[in-house]
Structure 1
Amino acid sequence: MIRIAICDTDSKICGQVKDILNVAEIRLMNHFCIEDFWSGKDLYEVLLDGEYFDIIFLETDLQIMSGIEIGRSIRCEMKNETTQLVFISENDKNAMQLLSVRALDLIIKPVSEKKINTVLEKAINSIRDFKNLFLYKKRFTIYNVLLDDILYFESSNREVNIITNNYTDTFYDKLSNISSKLHYFIKIHKSYLINPNHILKSEYSKIQMSNGVLLPISRKNRIDVRNILNRIGLDNNYIF
């Protein structure tokens, strides 16, 4: 699943981009979770609360807080280098400033299906480069594993167990560090960080993973986990 935000003061632009993305979702056989914002401040506050988007379509000339200011906050304040920033503008006068926030592209209005699709495919390719692998270190050796192969992480004191389709391994790290890098993974318990793509069945107090293992959802996390599962389309008792 790819999480996308659209932020433009013109609701018609938001609707137009969203319609194009909905068509592209079917064509590309992907799953998009799309949220639109008409205020840069609203988007900024959501990002500060920990929401993560793979792609953000962002108007440059937003009121109160400009798109470029939000881009700087994403890169510098939030230390987020993986979100793909696509700016939308009436002209290219801010093109040089976009280099400082490492924008993927600039779309000049009026937006069109061709423009959106071109930049969307470029963004998806960039996302795959970032998201494809998880790297971890044991002594002097760095190991990598496909993210799609990871079922979940389990922490035990200062060690973390990584459970994949093919093997289990252990390395030194903190679950909080891993969670900050893998925004799509869900922390269901202080000891478990799971890949939602491997959820076989979810219930109120536990989740069954694709390897058949049942993992507990802590009381503290149950509401947040349920909200996340609902938001990404994995409702109660969801079975692949």
Structure 2
Amino acid sequence: MMTCAIIDDDEINRLTLEHYVELTPNLKLVASLNDGIAGLTFFREGNKVDVLFLDIEMPHLSGLELLRVLTDPPEVIITTARQDFAVDAFELRVTDYLVKPFDFARFTQAVQRVASRRTPAATPVADTPTSADLFVKVNSRMVRINFDEVLYVEALSDYVNIVTPKHKYIVYTTLKALETRLGSFPNFIRVHRSYLLNTQHIESIEDNTANLSGGHFVPIGKSYQENFFKGLQRI
């Protein structure tokens, strides 16, 4: 069960969200507030929730302004009629961005994304300490992946894209978390802010780009090049 709050100055939108929360078994509504000032007071009084449904355009204190002054905000799902605030919203690390009018299915998808970020199963776990296999959660399934076969891993915001010769797996975790988990796999090396590379699959290197089997290409970032080429000397 996740607790939630709604902050929206539009009564119809607020009532719609309240109804959607009632229809969602794993959500419990703690507060429904009609402006940003009331929201700021709510949090400064020490109240906490797991999820905040937050409108952006409100008088006196906008949703984005509220997020900037909160020291420890919850998971935030933006609910707004305008798409042009998306960049600013994601810079504040919101979980999802719903453009009004949205339906219950899209609402549910956003809630599921919050739940996925909060569950430990979203992080890959080892099968055995010496195994090349890891289980990863892909949507609602636990999938076994042989990481000896993985070509590279690409960061996608709060997800990673694990690429093998035959499949791509989108997993709810961060590249940093996966890099830590793969610490016992010596063939994996960070070569870019957004890439982990399996050196077993390198066919050639040209212009600071690793050419992998199957026609895949991975850039080698300038700040990672020295460490990467030192590693190649020991292969």
Q: TM-score w.r.t. structure 1 length?
A: 0.48
**More RCO (CA 8 Å, sep 6+):** 1
Higher helix share: 1
Q: TM-score w.r.t. structure 2 length?
A: 0.49
